[in-house]
Amino acid sequence: MGAQQVAERFAELYGAEPEGVWAAPGRVNLIGEHTDYNDGFVMPFALPHQAIAAVSRRTDGILRLHSADIDGGGAQVTELRLDALAPETDREWTAYPAGVVWALREAGHAVTGADIHLASTVPTGAGLSSSAALEVVVALALNDLYELGLQRWRLARLCQRAENVYVGAPTGIMDQTASACCEPGHALFLDTRDLSQQQIPFDLAAEGLRLLVVDTQVKHAHSGGEYGKRRAGCEKGAALLGVDALRDIPYDGLDAALARLGDEEEVVRLVRHVVTEDERVERIVALLRAGDTRAIGPVLTAGHASLRDDFRISCPELDLVVDTALAHGALGARMTGGGFGGSAIVLTEATEVDTLTKTIEEAFAAAAFKAPRLFEAVPSAGAHRLN
């Protein structure tokens, strides 16, 4: 699927060429999980999988939406009135693009309508930010067409607002920023408190390494209660410790902070994950800067143990990927994304990719789990205009 195909389908649907075509990627998070709503650190990179949008402006207050990915592309065009868009009224895929239009208008930007046709190669429900890709591609297209002049970080914030308020999923800022701001060959070291960013070179192929993504095919959703419960637990921890966010608990003050939480066992576990995870992000940044890429493996694996045992958001399929990969020579492995299903990542020598792939597939078959999908993750471009 490319820009031309999406533009041609737009013309069939709406009877005219689109004014332009844009792309925005999904992401993999290397490290820094459930830290973004605690003002902490994250380190995602963009996937080659992306959402593509062909878009034209309208002046009559109407938003028309179509996706190539619904009903094999044969679904009807959805027509919405801009002045009738309201939070948490739409439970379909259309809530993502419509939410972005709503958020732009709520912020005072004069968007007067649009015709949009979308097509995406980002797997849905796989923890790879398919929804952020949809949001960011629409935001970038409207920013360009309506000459809003908004910077990338600002577009990411508006997309997050669309997701939090319009869709109703209480997520952080990582996924939208990754889709909007990542660069090829780099991972994005993002401080979610002030959104300052550093692009960290991350060229595994040059070092004879590979990062495999293993999509377990266990679908997840963040508008469900478990994500929100973890977030509320973290906020409770910050309140009990008298800080704005768990980011403010220093790593070398963790034991003292946990002691102050007394018998709040669940909060203790959540706080311990977040504070140690922020430290793991900083450690991985330091290792990559020092050119010691293989040494990040055990840090990734420690991140998985923390998410499994303290944050408690893994599942048998994710644990099986990690355990199997480590038992067969992987340098490190962990679940990635929000959890409760979705994908794991495996860092491995390039020479071991075929063996590991086969071994993980066999382990899933032996456990009678649905067959996983594996692919190699190559750090790719953030959102951009295609034509």
Q: Which residues of the chain form contacts with ligand GAF (CB under 6 A)? A: 29, 33-34, 36-37, 171-172, 174-175, 222, 337-338
Q: Which among 120, 100, 119, 122 has a CA at the least distance from the CA of 111? A: 100
Q: Shortest Cβ distance from residue 222 to ligand GAF (Å)?
A: 6
- Contact indicator for 159, 165 with CB cutoff of 8 Å: no
Q: Which is nearer to ligand GAF, 144 or 191 (CB)?
A: 191
**Does 54 count as an annotated binding residue?**
no
Q: Which is nearer to ligand GAF, 140 or 178 (CB)?
A: 178
Is 78 annotated as ligand-binding?
A: no
- Total Cβ atoms within 10 A of residue 245: 18
Looking at the Cβ atoms of 33 and 310, the one nearer to ligand GAF is 33
Task: Supply the residues annotated as catalytic.
Answer: 175
* For helices 265-289 and 225-241, angle between their N-to-C axes, nearest 10 degrees: 90
Comparing CB distances to ligand GAF, the nearer of 224 and 298 is: 224
CB of 156 to ligand GAF, least distance (A): 11
- 129 labeled binding residue: yes
Q: How far is the CB of 220 from ligand GAF (least distance, A)?
A: 9
CA distance 200 to 367: 38
36 annotated as ligand-binding = yes
131 is in an annotated binding site: yes
The answer to the question of whether 357 is labelled as a binding residue is: no
Least distance in Å: CB of 149 to ligand GAF?
Answer: 26
Least distance in Å: CB of 170 to ligand GAF? 9
Chain-centroid distance, C-alpha 322: 20
**What residues contact residue 12 under an 8 Å CB cut-off, 6+ apart?**
none
Q: Is there a binding annotation on residue 33? A: yes
Nearer to ligand GAF by Cβ, of 29 and 50: the residue is 29
- Has 125 been labeled as part of a binding site? yes
Residue 99 vs residues 134, 136, 140: alpha-carbon distances, Å = 10, 11, 14
Answer yes or no: are the C-beta atoms of 111 and 104 closer than 8 Å.
Answer: yes
Distance of closest approach, residue 146 Cβ to ligand GAF, in angstroms: 26
CB 129, min distance to ligand GAF, A = 6
Q: What's the start-to-end Cα distance of the chain, in Å?
A: 15
Q: From the annotation, which residues make up the binding site for Mg(2+)?
A: 131, 163
**Residues contributing to the annotated binding site for ATP:** 67, 125-131
Summarize the annotated binding site for substrate as residue ranges. 33-36, 227
Binding residues: 33-36, 67, 125-131, 163, 227
